[in-house]
Amino acid sequence: MSEDKPEKQQKVKGRLTLRTFARNTKSESLGVYLETADDCFLIRPASGNPFENPLAKLAGKYIEATGRRSAYVFFASKWREIPDPD
């Protein structure tokens, strides 16, 4: 019998950008990416429709998000806009 382990939550900070995801495939779409100091990955709310991302309207802004990361997607349980670090 396996035990359920609590998911490890983490915080990330970065700038939101819009980019093409899965270029030249049937799944090609506009994705919301979070560019951090060390990495760049898709970000979307942990719940809700993955094709209607409310973070898209924050493109170009900096955010701090809390959630969990899979291979290439960060599933944000909460987020907030933060000032530009410059």
> In CATH, what number is assigned to the domain containing residue 44?
2.40.50
Domain assignment present for residue 4? The answer is: no
pLDDT at 19: 92
User: What's the pLDDT at 5?
Assistant: 57
In a domain, 3, yes or no: no
pTM score: 0.84
> What is the span of the domain harbouring residue 66?
10-21+29-82
Which pLDDT does position 78 carry in this prediction? Answer: 96
Structural domain count of the chain: 1
Given this model, what pLDDT does residue 29 score?
Answer: 80
Low-confidence ranges of the chain (pLDDT < 70): 1-7
Radius of gyration of the chain (CA): 14
- In a domain? residue 66: yes
